[in-house]
Structure 1
Amino acid sequence: MELRDETTDDWWGVETLYDLTFAPGRKALSSYRLRDDVPPIAAFCRVVRSGDGVIGGAIRCWPIRIEDHSALLLGPVAVHPTRQGEGLGGLMIRDVLERAAPAGWPRVLLVGDAPYYARFGFRPLNGVVMPPPTNPNRILGHGPWAGIRGRVRKRLD
């Protein structure tokens, strides 16, 4: 398996993987309102491919704002069902986290399962509000979030 940048040729394969691994209504989730009409950040859109070219995993990130603070919205992250349990999700998440701060993105936010994401250093964020409906206990952050509070919004610049 090789981790590499997603290309325009990968788009349909990644979308198919997301459709396979998430519920049919995935685009109705509140996090998708932050992605509508905003391109993902190409440097943080990655795929894991097998030697035969099959996409085994994919991750994307979008720019967001909380008041005057920028952050990356991590996700979706998906691993093909036949490759789950091999550590591909962790590989992609660690890759984003290792490259985010040096690239000017010290804060990373996601909506997810706290016990799973804690292993990567994510912690619950109090006072950071995602568009509804979002369970506030699933809003997690990585990096310097002390004192940052407010609504999560699209970053259009």
Structure 2
Amino acid sequence: MSAPAVALTPLRISPETPFDRAAIEGLVLRAFGPGRFAKTAERLREQSTLAAGFVARDGDRIVGSVRLWAITVAGHAAVFLGPIAVEADRRGGGLGADLVQACVDHARSSGVAGVLLVGDLPYFARFGFEPAPSVTLPGPVDRRRVMWLPLTEPVPTGAAKRG
């Protein structure tokens, strides 16, 4: 006898609101733990202003989140993507990719030079990200994981700073 089919509520991806902040922080903490505060990427986010954020909702429950932070890279206006957080019971179904695509679409329409992130090239290459070892961040980072999505500027050489 097979298990009964479970009807899943369609997910909605929408801009985050100020009312979502506590739920987003809880989701990010569950996804990454307190160790995320020691990462260089977190240093850059702490210094920057939130440019945009997106959430995935299952009904009223936030099950995914991603944010863009206003930065400059080598003097060009850009955004820094991350963190991407998805509830454990929703991972592996493409939700993270949908959230990344929402950020890419937003960045394209905002006129920034590009999108910077720290992550895995095999995952992010499908969105057009390419290695950016010439970009420095405010702390130690594995340069093989620094990536740039060129929108109006090729991979820059220089420091990523708050925008």
Is TM-score (shorter-chain normalized) higher than 0.5?
Answer: yes
User: Is the radius of gyration larger for structure 1 or structure 2?
Assistant: 2
Distance 2:130 2:155 in 1: 14
Aligned partner of 1:12 in structure 2 is 22
Q: Summarize the alignment of residues 34-53 of structure 1 with structure 2, pairs less than 5 Å apart.
A: 34-41=44-51, 44-51=52-59, 53=60
Distance 1:106 1:89 in 2: 23
Which contiguous aligned blocks of 4+ residues in structure 1 show a shift greater than 2 angstroms? 144-147
Distance 2:47 2:145 in 1: 24
Aligned partner of 2:8 in structure 1 is none
Cα-to-partner distance string for 1:97-137 (whole Å, 9 max, x where unaligned): 12212211240000001111111111101311112210000
Where in structure 1 are there 5+ consecutive unaligned residues? none
Aligned partner of 2:140 in structure 1 is 133
Aligned partner of 1:84 in structure 2 is 91
Distance 2:55 2:144 in 1: 28
How many equivalent residue pairs?
152
Where in structure 2 are there 5+ consecutive unaligned residues? 1-10
Query: AA paired with 1:36?
Result: E
SS at match of 1:126: coil
Query: AA paired with 1:120?
Result: F
Cα-to-partner distance string for 1:17-40 (whole Å, 9 max, x where unaligned): 000011321122111222225331
Distance 1:147 1:82 in 2: 36
Aligned partner of 2:110 in structure 1 is 103
